[in-house]
Structure 1
């Protein structure tokens, strides 16, 4: 029986900026239906590693594989078509459109009907129904007709998750999804990601600094330091490592 490929894999993935190696020969495989947290201090290479996998940056060396296919030189739109979806630290929304229109446009692009901003919304009943279904899922249906620029920050982050869901990716990538959110807003995003995790067909990668978030969601933690992979394994075991406690959490093991 042939072993199934990891859904996403990097082999010796490397990028240099002048004399600086930002990601240094990182080899890591991500299986279907898992949530992996990527941690490390500021400047460790976490977001750069994300950018290499999602296509915002092109590797100096090594490979990125999606379902066993080499996508290392593939541009972002093609990676998106093949199943990689990325949510950014800063919201990436259409601020002058309504909440529903933002999600509808993503569903429209997924259905390959193009981004026709002048089209009449009523002519896309199926897309509107899809948008409303997703908005209901993320608890934004009551704000569907509100202009995005008028939304509070927490709701904008929820909308970003909704747009990612509407895209229907196999791999969902979240770069600090709770950044800038109030204490009251964080649990909603965690619940949304938890629901996505429950779908075992999806693979989730998460860059996050909040260890309570990581503990509640992650099946696995990988640690980057100076662009290199220095730890990989079960969350409790990785968090307990002295190198993680001291360098990344600012604690001694006894204080954890």
Structure 2
């Protein structure tokens, strides 16, 4: 069996009297893409926020490659191999497309801006950044300010920055949201390409069932913050839990 790269054990968060994520235990293995689905308000993005550290857990644990990272900052989790692309773009709007990707690669290698390293080290960083931009079909916009890009191209740049980070765990929160039918396939093809790396794992929050059918090796379903189903795509998508959730009917206690 593949190595478990990420694990949540009884992960819970409460906001006042409301339990937004309710004791969710899941293990995510290398070489596997897991789609996280559920109706609006099911707790999908909150679960992502707990894993990546944007929200502090009320109870439970997050383990990354066997280490407890529950109390670590977002930045420290990132340094240890957890990378997330946000549902809303999280970019530097006044910098160029190339500079955005360069900054990620520079941070990953912990190279600062000093004149002695600029000629050699920074040239290597620029070359690496351009290679990433080629992958996301943005090399022709390398000198454009991010604020000048269309929404779809900003989403592609966000994926480029995540690829540049080179994490062990990729987290995508609705990566094609707001993208046109022409733009979305580029991002989906990139995620499919990332699946070929059997040393990494991918988590995907997505509403579009055709995307899930195409990409997912496994589906987990959240409902009212709790884990309602977990298994192979065909099995889970045929289940009453998913059928009822996506038909908009009220789910009974699961």
What TM-score, normalized to structure 2? 0.93
Task: Give the counterpart of 2:226 among 216, 225, 228.
Answer: 228
- SS for the counterpart of 1:156 is helix
- 2:252 equivalent in structure 1: none
- 1:164 equivalent in structure 2: 162
CA RMSD of aligned residues (A): 1.9
- 1:216 equivalent in structure 2: 214
- SS for the counterpart of 1:198 is coil
- 1:111 equivalent in structure 2: 109
Superposed counterparts of 1:36-185, under 5 Å: 36-114=34-112, 116=113, 124-185=122-183
Which consecutive segments of 4 or more residues in structure 1 shift more than 6 A? 117-121
- SS for the counterpart of 2:87 is coil
CA contact (8 A) 1:5 1:68 kept: no
Stretches of structure 2 that go unaligned for 5 or more consecutive residues are 250-254
Q: Distance in 2 between matches of 1:4 and 1:220?
A: 14
- 2:204 equivalent in structure 1: 206
Q: Distance in 2 between matches of 1:38 and 1:214?
A: 9
- SS for the counterpart of 2:56 is coil
Q: Distance in 1 between matches of 2:118 and 2:137?
A: 22
Q: Distance in 1 between matches of 2:134 and 2:119?
A: 19
Q: Distance in 1 between matches of 2:119 and 2:43?
A: 45
Q: Distance in 2 between matches of 1:201 and 1:136?
A: 23
Shift in Å, 1:117: 11
Tell me the number of residue pairs that the alignment of Structure 1 and Structure 2 aligns: 248
Stretches of structure 1 that go unaligned for 5 or more consecutive residues are 252-256
Shift in Å, 1:248: 2.5
